[in-house]
């Protein structure tokens, strides 16, 4: 299946950062809080927050309980799943 230009752009956006790649891969099929993502990917939690907000702005991840301050749950969006399947 041929990927759209938009999808290729998103894949490259994720792949140019090992933090973004590791964060996306650790969320594959999971719903996790940032500290779990940090543990799975070996990235410090303070970096995870920044990476998650970058990925959120690209609509690759979503927070399913944004109203809470602690223990926010993140998962890949459909677009995010497609990106992970292609990296």
Nearest to 48 by CA among 20, 9, 76, 68: 20
Give the model's confidence band at 60: pLDDT under 50 very low, under 70 low, under 90 confident, else very high.
very high
Domains of the chain (ranges plus CATH)? 5-85 (1.10.10.10)
Residue carrying the six token digits 């303070």: 46
pLDDT in tens, 15-54: 999 999 999 999 999 999 999 999 999 999 999 999 999 9
Report residue 1's pLDDT band, with 50, 70 and 90 as the boundaries.
low
Report angle CA 51, 4, 2 to the nearest 5 degrees.
120
Give the model's pLDDT for residue 46.
92
Contact 48, 57 (CB under 8 A): no
């Amino acid at each position: 299946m041929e990927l759209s230009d938009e999808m290729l752009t998103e894949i490259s956006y994720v792949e140019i950062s090992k933090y973004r790649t590791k964060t996306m891969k650790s969320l594959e099929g999971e719903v996790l809080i940032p500290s779990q993502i940090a543990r799975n990917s070996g990235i410090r939690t303070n970096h995870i927050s920044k990476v998650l907000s970058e990925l959120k702005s690209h609509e690759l991840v979503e927070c399913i309980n944004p109203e809470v301050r602690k223990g926010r749950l993140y998962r890949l969006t459909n677009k995010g799943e497609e990106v992970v399947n292609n990296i």
